[in-house]
Amino acid sequence: MKHKIFVNGIQCYAFHGCLPEEARIGGHYIVDVEILTDFSKAAALDTLSDTIDYVDVNRIVCQEMAIRSKLIEHVGQRIVNRIQHELKGIEHLQVKITKISPPINGDVQSVAILIEG
């Protein structure tokens, strides 16, 4: 059986971006993670060890978001790599990073990237 786990709206304040002021003042980000897995055993036995722990997903996202990068594409790939490496039972993974109020020429609410692995 296939199941999905969602860890949505992980809010981070980080210092990503190509502009010098982004490194100094930072900005708000939202990260959403979707994991395709099989948690049948956990559902039947009520055991955390037989599923993906949301705490681990949140920890990985927050640790990687704390490491400055010029591009959110780079941060997103690091998050995907770590989740795939550290957590077991993942059949498919999707990570979306949204940058709120990016400093670009125009009135833009947000920009986002999506990586599937």
Residue-wise pLDDT for 36-76, tens only, equals 999 999 999 999 999 999 999 999 999 999 999 999 999 99
Say if residue 106's pLDDT is above 90: no
Q: Residue 48 burial (CB < 10 Å; 0-12/13-18/19+)?
A: exposed
Domains by residue range for the chain, with CATH: 3-116 (3.30.1130.10)
Say what the pLDDT of residue 99 is. 97
> Catalytic residue among 4, 70, 96, 99, which?
99
Q: Is the model's pTM score more than 0.85?
A: yes
- 8 Å CB contact between 5 and 52: yes
Does 99 qualify as catalytic in the annotation?
yes
